[in-house]
Structures are given as C-alpha cells and as structure tokens.
Amino acid sequence: MAVGTAGIASRLREVIARDRVIDDRTTLIPYMYDASFWSLRQRRMPDAVVVPESLADVVAVVRVANETGTPIVARGAGTGQTGGAIAPAGGIVVSFARMRAIQEIDRRNLQAIVEPGLVYLDLQAALAEQGLFFPPDPGSGRACTLGGMAANNASGPHAVRWGTTSAYVLGAEVVLADGSVITTGGVHSKALKSSSGIDLTKLFVGSEGTLGIFTKLRLRVQPKPPARAVILAGYTRQVAANVRYTDAILRKRAAVTRFAEDEKDVARLWAARSGLAAATALAHPGKHRIFAGEDLAVPLTEIPHTVRRARELGAELGIAVVFYGHFGDGNVHSAILIDPDDADEVRRADELADRLHKLAVEVGGTVTGEHGTGAVRAPYMRAEHGDALDVMKRIKDVMDPKGILNPGKIYP
C-alpha cells in the first residue's frame, strides 16, 4: 500500500504515540545532516522522524515502512561522517534518543546489556563505578551512541591494543525489514564465546542499518587495567612506520618525549591527542576541516608511501591536508581543509577525496578503517571488494527485499 510523503506521518501516528512523530519542517532540519561534508550538499529532508521508546514502538514503525515501501533510517547522535544516518531519498528517520537505558551490568560475567541510544561516555561512566570499561573508543565518544558504533563497527586509538567494536558485541536484538524480531548470539546466552551456528551478530555489526535495526546490544566489557601510561613524542621529520621498532624510534629520533603515569598527567597528555582532530583546522586559518576521504587504513608497510603520496596529491590540487591517525593499525586520517564557499576549491577537494580513496585500494588497504561506508564511500565498494560485493547485495536482497532499510548506503 503506497502512502504519499504527506500521509506517512499520519500513518505513523496511528501506531505510535502522536508526540513521538515529528513532521514539521523546522524540527526536521537537523535530521538532514550528520558530520559529513556530503550531507551539507544533498539537502533532502526526511518525511518524518520517529522517536521510539520501546521495542514495540520500533516494530510498529518498521511494519508501517514495510507496508508502505517507505525508506527507514536508524539514527543515533548523527556524529557519523559518511551520510549513514540521513535519508537522502526521504522517508522515516528513527531517532533512538529515548532508548538509552543500561538494562544490566553483569560484573561477574563481564557483560552489559544496553539500548542503542545510550551515549558511549555514559556507558563508560557507569562501568567505571564497577571497575570496568568498554574498550572501543571513538573520537566522538562524548556524543556518539552504542547503536551507531555497532552499526559502523567503530573504533579509535585503543583499537591498536583492544580491537574494534565487533569484538565486543556478543549479541543483539534486531528488528528485521518486515517488523519481525530476532536475537543473535543466543536467545538466553551470557557466554563470552560461541561456535554455534552462523555468527549473525557479526553480520549485523558494521551493516549500517541496511539489514536490520538494533534495539538492544549485549556487550563484552573488561576490567579496568590496574595502571596505564602515556608517551607523547614529537618528531622533527617524518619517521618510517614500523610498530616493532617503536621503542627504538622513541629513543633515537624523538625530538621531545614526555612520559606520564599519574592519572592527572595521563589525562592531560591524552587530551592533546583527543583534541587533535578539532585542532587540524588551526593549521590553516580561514579554512574549515571537512570529512571526506578521511579514514583510509593501509598495510603498516605502506603508511610512509601513503602519506607522501597523499601530500603530493594535495599539493597537485592546491588543497591543504593535515595527517594524523592510529598508525599502529595503519589508520591514516586525512584532514582536508578548504573554504566551503569556494566552489572551485570544493570541486578540487572532491577530486582529492576520490583519489585518496583509490590510493587506499591501490596499496592494498581499505577506504574506511573505522568510520563506515555510508553514501560517501559506496562508490568504492566494487574496487575494494570485487565479486564479494555481489554476495553482499544478495544478502541485502534476501534480508530486505523491498530495499527500505537505509537505502543508498554501502551497496552502490
């Protein structure tokens, strides 16, 4: 049954509390955007935003989307950088702002059960009270949600030691495209590992809401380490990257080295690293940092070549680029700095982002190490994955035959 854009909000109000459905244009404006530069230019409003409070609400909304063939996009905090949480074709955006509960922290079994709208930093604060922590650490941790992290298989600097989000999602409650609900990882399981059946949890983690919508996550957590330290090293020139020789590099080539063990000193030094992404724009006053081509991950041996070649590409196109990242696992962030009101500069920045993505694939890397694919990187999926992309598409077609779940993302 087809329902026009004007009627979808009315249809939704039949199945969910009226005040949970938003369709006035002014209030819809923030849902047109995420942190990506791409979202600033597509400027397509969703037809309605729904703010569910329960699994039953989500099921009801998904069923309406399925019955009417309306696109439906799950959204956490909108901190993503790929257009993954916006609706460029219109439709329904599901905001999980009211589903943010910690349902359980099981200290003895090292697990937490949470709703997808829970903010990462709030989970960490609750875990810290019990001497625990959740290892993945995205740079947007003050705002991003656990559902968004799982949808994108997010990570951060600590991934070098602890791994990515997928290693810590033990199971999930998922609403499928027809409104049915499944639990992955075992319906009643609290096991920390399993080799039972196909690992559906891994299938959904990183699928960006294109196969199903998370309504609950069972997370593995860890005891807080008894001690930690931070080393801050400054270099006067680029150093070839090799994790095995980090100690030797620090001893012989660092112009400035600072070591901190005290928690206050650790926090102070780490704050410098945490603020690096925001500080990149200061390197070129008058320019603005845009998120485009910023998340390459390459083999460790290719880091020096990748950074050198990326610098050359920026120089060729007259675009300023600042590099930082998590070089221990090959994640190179390229902060592109431009005047967004200069149409020619925007065009050249787009070309640079395109060439950076292609460079990552050429050197045996990936176009995204931790930020996800979304709409921004979908055009590069064929080059990176080859015929495996066809298998991904077939899975998508089986799971979502009407193509309503986050269309336009991942699969070009």
258 strand-pairing partners: 232
Looking at the structure, tell me whether residues 255 and 296 fall in a common domain. no
Looking at the structure, tell me whether residues 234 and 295 fall in a common domain. no
Looking at the structure, tell me whether residues 236 and 313 fall in a common domain. no
Of 98, 133, 164, the one marking the end of a domain is 98
Of 67, 98, 129, the one marking the end of a domain is 98
Looking at the structure, tell me whether residues 11 and 38 fall in a common domain. yes
Looking at the structure, tell me whether residues 257 and 290 fall in a common domain. no
In a domain, residue 386? The reply is yes
Looking at the structure, tell me whether residues 240 and 217 fall in a common domain. no
Looking at the structure, tell me whether residues 110 and 218 fall in a common domain. yes
Q: What's the chain look like in SS3?
A: CCCCHHHHHHHHHCCCCHHHEECCHHHHHHHHCCCCHHHHHHCCCCCEEECCCCHHHHHHHHHHHHHHCCCEEEECCCCCCCCCCCCCCCCEEEECCCCCCEEEEECCCCEEEECCCCEHHHHHHHHHCCCEECCCCCCCCCCCEHHHHHHHCCCCCCHHHHCCHHHHEEEEEEECCCCCEEEECCCCCCCCCCCCCCCHHHHHCCCCCCCCEEEEEEEECEECCCCCCEEEEECCCCCCCCHHHHHHHHHHHCCEEEEECCHHHHHHHHHHHHCHHHHHHHHCCCCEEECCCCCEECCHHHHHHHHHHHHHHHHHHCCEEEEEEEHHHCEEEEEEEECCCCHHHHHHHHHHHHHHHHHHHHCCCECCCCCCCCCCCHHHHHHHHCCHHHHHHHHHHHHCCCCCECCCCCCC
Task: Output the domain CATH number for residue 329.
Answer: 3.30.70.2740
pTM of the model: 0.91
Of 185, 205, 223, the one marking the end of a domain is 223
Looking at the structure, tell me whether residues 200 and 251 fall in a common domain. no
Looking at the structure, tell me whether residues 140 and 207 fall in a common domain. yes
Contact 410, 375 (CB under 8 A): no
Looking at the structure, tell me whether residues 236 and 287 fall in a common domain. no
Distance CA 327, CA 299 (A): 10
In a domain, residue 412? The reply is no
In a domain, residue 407? The reply is no
Number of domains in the chain: 4
Domain coverage including residue 259: 227-274
360-364 long-range contacts, CB within 8 A, separation 24+: 360/296, 360/297, 360/298, 360/306, 363/298, 363/299, 363/302, 363/305, 363/306, 364/298, 364/299, 364/302
232 strand-pairing partners: 258
Task: Output the domain CATH number for residue 218.
Answer: 3.30.465.10
Distance CA 274, CA 169 (A): 24
Local confidence pLDDT in tens for the 412 residues of the chain: 445 556 999 999 999 999 999 999 999 999 999 999 999 998 899 999 999 999 999 999 999 999 999 999 999 999 999 999 999 999 999 999 999 999 999 999 999 999 999 999 999 999 999 999 999 999 898 899 999 999 999 998 888 889 999 999 999 999 999 999 999 999 999 999 999 999 999 999 999 999 999 999 999 999 999 887 777 766 666 655 444 445 555 566 555 566 666 777 777 777 767 676 677 777 788 899 998 989 999 999 999 999 999 999 999 999 999 988 888 899 999 999 999 999 999 999 999 999 999 999 999 999 999 999 999 999 999 999 999 999 999 999 999 999 999 999 999 8
Distance CA 325, CA 305 (A): 15
Distance CA 168, CA 145 (A): 15
